[in-house]
Amino acid sequence: MKTLINLLILIVLFLGSKNSTKIIAQTIIFKTRLPKQIDETSGLEFFKDAFLTHNDSGGKASLYAFNEAGIILKEYSIMGAENIDWEDIAQDENYIYISDTGNNKGKRQNLNIIIVDPNNDFKKVGKIKFNYSNQQNFDKRSKHPFDAEALVSTSNELILFLKNRVTNTTELYSIPKTPGNYSLSPKKSYDVKSLITGADYHNPTKLIALVGYTRSREQFLYTLSSFDMENLDQVKIKKIKLPLNGKQIEAIKIIDQNTFWLTSEDEGVGYPMLYKIRL
């Protein structure tokens, strides 16, 4: 009887912890090298049956289309744009949004999202400027909560997920899709225990996916299911440890609820990579 009780306790503890523990059941089902031309790939989208990416800080103000074999098909130069620190890319039925929001040292006061029309030769058609209403200190420093490396587009708005180097949480900020100058306040904080570097939103399933890493270079994928800006407390989060320790995963694209594309930077050695992951 005592053995049975102990077994039941173990089962209850296991079931009760499933929503909060790391899920290890995932498989790399495809991987390929990407060219050095996109060695700091930092965002990922689809466009006309090809992938679309960009480099981050200091790179050219260009988007690169490449195929599954890792071959660059075309470079789209964004005239009138500057790549200060491009960190992610998102799109809707009309436009592509480039997140020039990297802020490693917390001192930037020119954060913006570039609006591009892919059906008009990737012409820049607007800029969304913003600041964080809760930021008062713009001194250069290594730990702060104001570095946004993850952007998604929903039907109604854009959403930034920040990389909080102080608490290892991620704060969610929403911003209109129309050009202007906005002061943003955080809507929600999630205790992800890592530094978030990329995001995607899948409208048919209302799923958001995030990628991030720890200081020990473990890589994680997070799924936020039933995502609804009006009910952020009801969002269900799963944390999945990726078999990619030591990599720098910077971008994610949802295929379906269980399958994802990821890209990693080359980190100065080796090659950038494209992965397909299945949970």
- Counts for the chain of helices (H) and strands (E), in that order: 1, 22
Model-wide pTM > 0.85: yes
Whether residue 272 lies inside any domain: the answer is yes
Cα–Cα distance measured from residue 100 to residue 56, given in angstroms and rounded to the nearest whole number:
9
Confidence tier at 270 by pLDDT (50, 70, 90): confident
In this structure, what are the phi and psi dihedrals at residue 2, rounded to the nearest 5 degrees?
-60, -40
Whether residue 15 lies inside any domain: the answer is no
Query: Is 4 a residue whose pLDDT tops 50?
Result: no
Whether residue 2 lies inside any domain: the answer is no
Q: Where are the alpha helices (DSSP H) in the chain?
A: 2-17
What's the Cα-to-Cα distance from 39 to each of 106, 128, 133, 240, rounded to whole Å? 24, 27, 34, 25
Whether residue 8 lies inside any domain: the answer is no
Amino acid letter, 147: D
Q: What percent of the chain has pLDDT over 70?
A: 91
- pLDDT tens for each residue of 13-28: 333 333 344 555 579 9
Query: Is 2 a residue whose pLDDT tops 90?
Result: no
Across residues 127-151, what is the average pLDDT?
A: 97
Cα–Cα distance measured from residue 206 to residue 229, given in angstroms and rounded to the nearest whole number:
11
- pLDDT tens for each residue of 63-80: 999 999 999 999 999 999
Bridge partners, residue 132, by sequence: 184
Whether residue 43 lies inside any domain: the answer is yes
- pLDDT tens for each residue of 158-173: 999 999 999 999 999 9
How many CB atoms lie under 10 A from the CB of residue 172? 21
Whether residue 10 lies inside any domain: the answer is no
- pLDDT tens for each residue of 165-201: 999 999 999 999 999 999 999 999 999 999 999 999 9
Give the E-state strand segments of 166-215 in sequence order. Answer: 170-175, 180-184, 188-190, 195-202, 207-213
* Number of domains composing the chain: 1
CATH code, domain with 257: 2.120.10.30
**CA angle 86-91-93, nearest 5°?**
155
Q: Calculate Rg over the CA atoms of the chain.
A: 19
Across residues 270-276, what is the average pLDDT?
A: 95
Whether residue 139 lies inside any domain: the answer is yes
Per-residue pLDDT at 23: 56
Across residues 143-164, what is the average pLDDT?
A: 97
- pLDDT tens for each residue of 202-254: 999 999 999 999 999 999 999 999 999 999 999 999 999 999 998 999 999 99
User: In 32-67, which positions are buried (b, 16+ CB within 10 angstroms) versus exposed (e)?
Assistant: eebeeebbbbbbbbebeebbbbbbbeebbbbbbbbe
How many CB atoms lie under 10 A from the CB of residue 116? 21
Query: Is 5 a residue whose pLDDT tops 50?
Result: no
Across residues 109-124, what is the average pLDDT?
A: 97
Query: Is 258 a residue whose pLDDT tops 90?
Result: yes
Domain that holds residue 103: 20-278
Which residues have a Cβ under 8 Å from the Cβ of 89 and sit 6 or more positions away? Answer: 43, 44, 45, 52, 53, 54, 63, 96, 97, 98, 99, 151, 251
Amino acid letter, 97: Y
Query: Is 83 a residue whose pLDDT tops 50?
Result: yes
